[in-house]
Amino acid sequence: MFPHRHLLGIEGLKAPEITTILDLSEAYVAQNRKTNKHLDVLTGLTQINMFFENSTRTQASFELAGKRLGADVMSMAMQASSIKKGETLIDTALTLNAMHPDILVVRHPNAGAVNLLASKVNCSVLNAGDGRHEHPTQALLDALTIRRRKGRLHRLTVAICGDIAHSRVARSNILLLGQMENRIRLIAPPTLLPSGIDQFGVEITDNMEEGLKGADVVMMLRLQKERMDGAFIPSEREYFHRFGLDEAKLAHAKEDAIVMHPGPMNRGVEIDGTLADDINRSVIQEQVEMGVAVRMAAMDLLARNLKAWRMRDAEVMV
């Protein structure tokens, strides 16, 4: 059903495995709405969160997810340390590994850093975002939100708009939505498109009206200024005028199209603030709610495998 040791990306996940995570997440959505949210699924297990990049939603939801499932959760303040990639990262991994964690949740500014770390430890590793590479739990929580709102996760037209070049959210979403056979439209100025993106089976345009036409889902992305090493847009004002989502531009999408954003938002840059708060169109808060449930489901599935593998290894040793 979900034969994986780690969750490092959407790449490598098959459609039924994605469905397995989403189905289990539904049970956790219901559980999270109860007054007593506590379960014993991860009791006795140690979860360490290592965020080498800033995070609000992702870190908080991983921490809550672990606590609600009964794990011992520790969040390390990595930003404060002077740690860099390469040897130092591996040293940190080995140090933590010696403390016998069961689950490591890692966010890192370098693409590939989380995969490297996973190869050095003997616990389950979840990628909470690595550079421009992948952010699998974000794509899964987006998928759950879409599936609940649209009643299905296939044959939808999904427009992904904005800074695609610097976005791991876009990359993971393109992989997931493509795997589930949806039509994906990327809307961005050419400067904000990664090279080689045309090989991903997507339609590409720099015209919002054209790209939003008939869309069921409109996913807006933050301008990732921290990853830009030059001028990618003329000005924020000009960018909002051409690519910022407001009611007038949204009118080109389907009448019941939903508006999504992974957060944090730059209001008035990629999205109009009033539209972002419009509960008839925007599902941004629902995405946050789904985030906790999806992370509970992912850690639950990985922990089941971890326990089974350790038991099997122990038998082989005897």
Judged by the rule CB under 6 A, the positions of this chain that interact with ligand NCD are: 57-58, 129, 135, 138, 168-169, 222, 224, 262-263
* Nearer residue to ligand NCD within complex by CB, 46 or 138: 138
Smallest gap from residue 37 Cβ to ligand NCD (A)? 22
Tokens representing residue 80 in the block: 């404060």
Task: Yes or no: say if 193 and 204 are a contact pair by the CB < 8 Å rule.
Answer: yes
C-beta separation of 214 from 253 below 8 A: yes
Query: What is the nearest approach in angstroms of ligand NCD to the Cβ of residue 57?
Result: 5
State the Cα–Cα distance between residues 263 and 49, nearest whole angstrom: 20
Contact (CB, 8 A) for 29 and 61: no
- Considering the complex, what minimum distance in angstroms separates the CB of residue 135 from ligand NCD? 5
Contact status, residue 249 vs residue 205, Cβ threshold 8 Å: no
| CB closer to ligand NCD, 107 vs 185 | 107
Cβ-closest position to ligand NCD: 222
* CB closer to ligand NCD out of 71 and 290: 290
For residue 129, the minimal CB distance to ligand NCD (Å) is: 5
Q: Decide if 29 contacts 286 (C-beta within 8 A).
A: no
Residue 170 near residue 187, CB atoms below 8 Å: no
Q: Considering beta carbons, is residue 184 or 306 the nearer one to ligand NCD? A: 184
Nearer to ligand NCD, 296 or 306 (CB): 296
CA distance 289 to 2: 23
Cβ-based nearer residue to ligand NCD, 220 or 306:
220
Measured from the CB atom, the residue of 120 and 227 that comes closer to ligand NCD is: 227
- CA nearest 118: which of 130, 109, 183? 130
Q: Taking a C-beta distance cutoff of 8 angstroms, is the pair 182, 173 a contact? A: no
Q: Which residue has the tokens 């498109």?
A: 193
DSSP state of 105: E
Alpha-carbon distance of 310 to 83, in angstroms, equals 31
Smallest separation, CB 205 to ligand NCD (Å): 22
Whole-number minimum distance, CB 251 to ligand NCD, in Å? 25
Q: How far is the CB of 54 from ligand NCD (least distance, A)?
A: 8
